[in-house]
Amino acid sequence: MKLIASLTDEDVGEKPVPVDKFVDRKAVRAVIFDKDGRVAVMKVAKDGVYKVPGGGLDEGESLIDALEREVREESGATIKNIKELGRIVEQRTVYPLRQESFCYTADVVSVGETSFTENEKKAGFSVLWMSTEDAIKAFESVVPKKYKAKFIAKREFLILKEAINKRKI
């Protein structure tokens, strides 16, 4: 899968700190389009950011199985026509994490209820369905202050832009 971006502390306006060992994490993310061309956007109230549905892989889970599960949990949607978009690799030094996000686009088949985890509920997750234009505006409006949120905002905006550009082709 092609590399969309590699993000480091400098890319989000932070100064790197020395790290002995990174925690490695693999995640999946998807920009999903409904029949009207709207996209699912996750609002994370606690961090003041927007993101696309996705999250970490469970033990032994394939990328596609994780993607379908995360999309269903966070947006309530079942999906089809899953297409590779690319990867984003983050290397964070303040909380030593090396995360590789495998990104996709997909079409919505149906939408049911969300099933947020307790942590997602505490973070104030909610799903919004927006036109691509409104989604871009929402993502651009974010000015995160917290270290983790800076990475999330940058990563998620890159994923959204890449998906919208690819969809136009």
pLDDT at 44: 94
Q: What is the pLDDT of residues 40-49, one digit of tens each?
A: 999 999 999 9
pLDDT at 169 over 70: no
Q: Tell me, what's the pLDDT at 168?
A: 73
Name all domains of the chain by residue range, CATH numbers in brackets.
Answer: 3-168 (3.90.79.10)
Is 70 exceeded by the pLDDT of residue 2? yes
The whole model's pTM is what?
Answer: 0.94
HEC-encoded secondary structure of the chain: CCEEEEEEHHHHCCCCCCCCCCEEEEEEEEEEECCCCCEEEEEECCCCEEECCEEECCCCCCHHHHHHHHHHHHHCEEEEEEEEEEEEEEEECCCCEEEEEEEEEEEEEEECCCCCCHHHHHCCEEEEEECHHHHHHHHHCCCCCCHHHHHHHHHHHHHHHHHHHHHHC
Task: Tell me whether strands 3-8 and 49-51 are parallel, antiparallel or unpaired.
Answer: unpaired
